Structure 1
Amino acid sequence: MEQRVLVAYGSTNGSTVKIAETVAEVLRTAGITAEAWPARSVTDLDHYEAVVVGGALYAGRWHKDARRFVGRHRGALAHRPVWFFSSGPLDSTASQRDIPPVPGVKRAMARLDVRGHVTFGGCLTEGAQGRIARMILRNGKGGDFRDFAAIETWAAGLAKELGAMAHR
């Protein structure tokens, strides 16, 4: 049976989009049908056997589109394997150590029996939308802290796990 995986994401300035697309690409390379879509555009999960949900972090909260996606699809998510990722620290901490999920994500993980979570570094560069984003950039705190090797390694681990599930 073909496995189809949805990688749904919430992103304001595009940093999380690239992470989600990278996860989907690694899964496809492993022979899994995977699609990355904005969380707000997903209407149902009927065609997917597993779901990855990613959200940018803003002031200690997951992106509203990721939060709303989880709430809207809670019933369907409870019946499939689910993984979460967050993106956000605008420094190298995510590459140096495991950063636990923020409280709202942690609660959602417990409710849905999520199989795993990882926090990746974020990216905030010139042209970012939002008053706070512009303030962060004015204060010299922006930059691209995404570690694509770590993202690819995490996604390859998902592919292995999904492969093992398919052969049970």
Structure 2
Amino acid sequence: MTVLVAYGTTNGSTARIADAVAAALRERGLGTETRPARSVTDVTRYEAVVVGGALYAGRWHRDARRLVRRHRRALAQRPLWLFSSGPLDASATERDIPPVRGVRRTMTSLNARGHVTFGGCLEEGARGWIAGRILAAGKGGDFRDFDAVEEWAGRIAGELKKR
């Protein structure tokens, strides 16, 4: 079984989470391919798909939105999980953060098996005007919890191995 782990990111934080998801799936015996969402042209060769997107102003990253929109028919026919990254505080480790409205609609329309929101990361050198303002206000940092990422990916692997 081969699982596609695709992601939409601006500054690379979500890519690192996607890499961690793929590594955890590989450790559990699943083949994986990790790709930027904008480079995915076909999902039909994968038995399952995980799509992640950074959150910006309450919206999922544009590349992740485009991937699920362009490939909706094929994605609806295979196991699909979604993740978001973004809170620049400890909230994602303290409680379950529901998906933003657009991701929630995608989950429903594509019958996704699950979603999780992981903490984000915004560090010096990040691109974008808003990122610069957040950093200038001293609100950046790395809030990713890779133990939680591995645990979530482990649950996905468990579900896929039951198939």
Q: TM-score normalised to the size of structure 1?
A: 0.96
Per the alignment, in what secondary structure is the counterpart of residue 74 of structure 2?
Answer: helix
Instruction: Output the amino acid matched with 2:31.
Output: T
Deviation at 1:47, TM superposition (A): 1.4
**1:66-81 counterparts in 2 under 5 A?**
66-81=64-79
State whether structure 2 residue 125 is matched by structure 1 residue 92.
no
Identity, in percent, stands at 67
Per the alignment, in what secondary structure is the counterpart of residue 18 of structure 1?
Answer: helix
**What's 1:137 paired with?**
135
Could you list the per-position Cα deviations for residues 106-139 of structure 1 after superposition, in whole angstroms to 9, with x for gaps in the alignment? 0010000000000000000000000000000000
**What's 1:47 paired with?**
45
The list of structure 1 runs, each at least 4 consecutive aligned residues, that deviate by more than 4 angstroms after superposition, is none
Q: Distance in 2 between matches of 1:45 and 1:58?
A: 25
| Structure 1, unpaired ranges of 5+ | none
Q: Distance in 2 between matches of 1:76 and 1:153?
A: 27
Per the alignment, in what secondary structure is the counterpart of residue 6 of structure 1?
Answer: strand
**1:6-155 counterparts in 2 under 5 A?**
6-155=4-153
Per the alignment, in what secondary structure is the counterpart of residue 3 of structure 2?
Answer: strand
State whether structure 2 residue 153 is matched by structure 1 residue 160.
no
Q: Distance in 2 between matches of 1:24 and 1:52?
A: 9
Could you list the per-position Cα deviations for residues 11-64 of structure 1 after superposition, in whole angstroms to 9, with x for gaps in the alignment? 000000000000001101111001110000010012100000000000000000
Deviation at 1:143, TM superposition (A): 0.1
| Structure 2, unpaired ranges of 5+ | none
RMSD: 0.4
Instruction: Output the amino acid matched with 1:10.
Output: G
Q: Distance in 1 between matches of 2:44 and 2:81?
A: 17
Aligned residues: 163
Per the alignment, in what secondary structure is the counterpart of residue 131 of structure 2?
Answer: helix
Instruction: Output the amino acid matched with 1:104.
Output: G
Q: TM-score normalised to the size of structure 2?
A: 0.99
Q: Distance in 1 between matches of 2:135 and 2:129?
A: 10
